[in-house]
Structure 1
Amino acid sequence: MTDTLAFATAETPLGPLLAAVTGDGVAWLDFRDGPDARARAVRALRLPVVADPARTAPVTAALAAYFAEEARDFDVPLDWRLYSPLQRQVLETLYTTVPYGALTTYGEIGTRSGAGVPAQAIGQVMGSNPIPLIVPCHRVVSSTGLGGYSGGSGVEVKRWLLMFEGALPATLDWDPAEGPRS
């Protein structure tokens, strides 16, 4: 059977997240849902779209459990097809070695992965991650601060996620039921 792509939307404090799931697992996560986000996923994955609630239910349940603070890990299969060998080496290392509530630096993840590239290149790998949040690039920071973040509205989403996970102290006005303030 030809592989297909099924979409699911998860309502979260960050807004609606779009997950694209192939027969192998989650292949794409976008911090926005809508026609443009879906078109980007279809262009990237080059697969026909089908409705398949049974396939997408595990990822929406995992996202709901994460944001309800009922789960710290995403126990869903991943489809790594969009990753270059370097991206996969670096991001699989991140995925398997940096748990919920922990932080690492771009340089540390570069060393730990054995990628042999400078911290700036690791930052570029994080910025090109097609499955952010589940493959937790938000947990990678600069040696001098938060660094950047290409998910959602940017670094404020990263800050919110790190406060949500307890990796950063919450600000006095922080409310986990509300998404980041732009």
Structure 2
Amino acid sequence: MITETRAHTVLDSPIGPLTLVAEGDALCGLYMNVQRHRPPGETFGVHDPGAAPLGAAAEQLTAYFAGELTGFDLPLAMHGTEFQRRVWAALREIPYGETITYGELAREIGNPTASRAVGLANGRNPVSIVVPCHRVVGTTGLTGYGGGLERKRFLLDLESRTESPDEARLF
């Protein structure tokens, strides 16, 4: 459903085009061009790169991909269940360059037997990268990622500085 308060823009990035969606003055979506659970484009609102906070989000993402920013400071409007919002809030606490397992994240939110539910909520994160769902891994290493494992690996490598961020480009 299109709302009058929604606007979007598309930002080119090293992992391909990113669609940024604003609702009022808050970022409510950040989607990769190939992403599981990507909403239909007609829900993104009008194309308006100047809408708040799309300019600030684009600037911060550009700095992040250049290796110059380790944390985002953007107003967010994330719509989901109470459980999903708890998981998404916990994701924002995972430090830059670090990873956590689904089981550890479940324990962090006080629900130690909910690692599968945590994984499902993680996969429904509407503001990927800014809310770093890529920092959650399985106990045996990398597991699924809504944007594809190659993008997850790219983001983790970027944060661990194993690649030169200025030259690295996935797509």
Q: Does 1:112 align with 2:113?
A: no
| Structure 1: segments with no counterpart, 5+ residues | none
**Structure 1 counterpart SS, 2:10:** strand
Kindly provide the CA deviation profile for residues 31-69 of structure 1, in whole angstroms up to 9, marking residues without a partner as x. Answer: 129xxx6x71544x7xx5363604121111111111111
Q: How large is the Cα RMSD of the aligned pairs?
A: 2.3
Who is 2:91 aligned against? 94
CA distance in structure 2 between the partners assigned to 1:114 and 1:70 by the alignment: 33
Taking structure 1 as the reference length, the TM-score comes to 0.80
CA distance in structure 2 between the partners assigned to 1:62 and 1:130 by the alignment: 17
Letter in 2 for 1:62: Q
Kindly provide the CA deviation profile for residues 13-40 of structure 1, in whole angstroms up to 9, marking residues without a partner as x. Answer: 111211001114111111129xxx6x71
Taking structure 2 as the reference length, the TM-score comes to 0.85
- Structure 1 residues 24, 88: closer, same or farther in 2, change over 3 A? farther
Who is 1:40 aligned against? 40
CA distance in structure 2 between the partners assigned to 1:11 and 1:50 by the alignment: 15
CA distance in structure 2 between the partners assigned to 1:16 and 1:61 by the alignment: 15
Who is 1:12 aligned against? 13
Correspondent of 2:142 among 146, 150, 158: 146
Q: How many angstroms does 1:180 deviate by? A: 3.2
Identity %: 37
Report if aligned partners of 1:89, 1:115 keep a CA contact under 8 Å in 2. Answer: no
CA distance in structure 2 between the partners assigned to 1:40 and 1:19 by the alignment: 13
| Structure 2: segments with no counterpart, 5+ residues | none
Higher helix share: 1
Aligned runs of 1:61-80 on 2, under 5 Å?
A: 61-80=59-78
Who is 1:123 aligned against? 119
Report if aligned partners of 1:28, 1:41 keep a CA contact under 8 Å in 2. Answer: no
